[in-house]
Chains A and B, each alone.
Chain A
Amino acid sequence: MYSLESKDLHLYYGDFHALKGITMGMKKNEVTAFIGPSGCGKSTYLRCFNRMNDLIDNVRIDGEVLVDGVDIYQKSILVDDLRTHVGMVFQKPNPFPKSIFENVAYGLRVNGTKDKNLIAERVETSLKQAALWDEVKDKLKKSAFELSGGQQQRLCIARALAIEPSVLLMDEPASALDPISTAKIEELIYQLKENYTIIIVTHNMQQAGRVSDNTAFFYMGELVEYGKTKNIFTSPKDTRTQNYVTGRFG
Chain B
Amino acid sequence: MSFTSNPNLNKSKRFWQAFAFNSFRLLSFLVVAILVVILGFIIINGISVISWEFLTEMPREGMTKGGIFPAIVGTLWLVVGSLLFACPIGILSGIYINEYAKDGWLKRFIKLMTNNLAGVPSIVFGLFGMALFVNKFGFGDSILAGSLTLGLLALPVVIRTTEEALKAIDDSFRIGSLALGASKWQTIWKVILPIALPNIITGIILSVGRVSGETAPILFTVAAYFLPKLPTSIFDQVMALPYHLYVISTSGTNIEASRAMAYGTAFILILIVLLVNLLANWLRRYFGRKVKMN
Contact = CB atoms under 8 A, between A and B. Distances in A.
B4 A70 contact: yes
B9 interface: yes
Nearest to B5: A76
Nearest to B7: A78
B5 A78 contact: yes
B51 interface: no
Interface in B67-100: none
A157 interface: no
Nearest to B11: A112
A81 B2 contact: yes
Contacts of A76: 4-5
Contacts of B172: none
A112 B13 contact: yes
Nearest to A50: B3
Contacts of A81: 2-4, 6, 9-10
A16 to B, nearest CB: 17
B4 A80 contact: no
B32 interface: no
A110 interface: yes
A92 interface: no
B13 A111 contact: yes
Given A111-B13, A112-B10, A85 B5 contact: no
A70 B5 contact: no
Contacts of A77: 3-5
Interface in A49-90: 67-68, 70, 72, 76-78, 80-85
B1 interface: yes
A70 B6 CA distance: 14
B233 interface: no
A72 B6 CA distance: 14
Interface string A157-195: 000000000000000000000000000000000000000
A100 to B, nearest CB: 24
Contacts of B5: 76-78
Contacts of A72: 3
Contacts of B10: 78, 80-81, 111-112
A82 B13 contact: no
A85 B13 contact: no
A1 B9 CA distance: 25
B12 interface: yes
A110 B13 contact: yes
A82 B1 CA distance: 9
Nearest to B12: A112
Interface string B7-46: 0011011100000000000000000000000000000000
Contacts of B1: 67-68, 70, 85
Contacts of B13: 80, 110-112
* Max chain A Cβ within 10 angstroms of own Cβ: one of B3, B5, B13: B3
A112 B10 CA distance: 7
A112 B9 CA distance: 9
Contacts of A85: 1-3
B3 A82 contact: yes
A83 B1 CA distance: 13
Contacts of A70: 1, 3-4
Interface in A101-136: 110-112
Given A78-B6, A80-B10, 8 more contacts: A70-B4, A76-B4, A77-B3, A78-B5, A80-B13, A81-B10, A84-B3, A85-B3
The 5 A-B residue pairs with the shortest CB-CB distance in the complex, in nearest-first order: A76-B5, A81-B3, A82-B3, A85-B3, A70-B1
Interface of B: 1-6, 9-10, 12-14
23 contacts: A67-B3, A70-B1, A70-B3, A72-B3, A76-B4, A77-B3, A77-B5, A78-B5, A78-B6, A78-B9, A78-B10, A81-B2, A81-B3, A81-B6, A81-B9, A81-B10, A84-B2, A85-B2, A85-B3, A110-B13, A111-B13, A112-B12, A112-B13
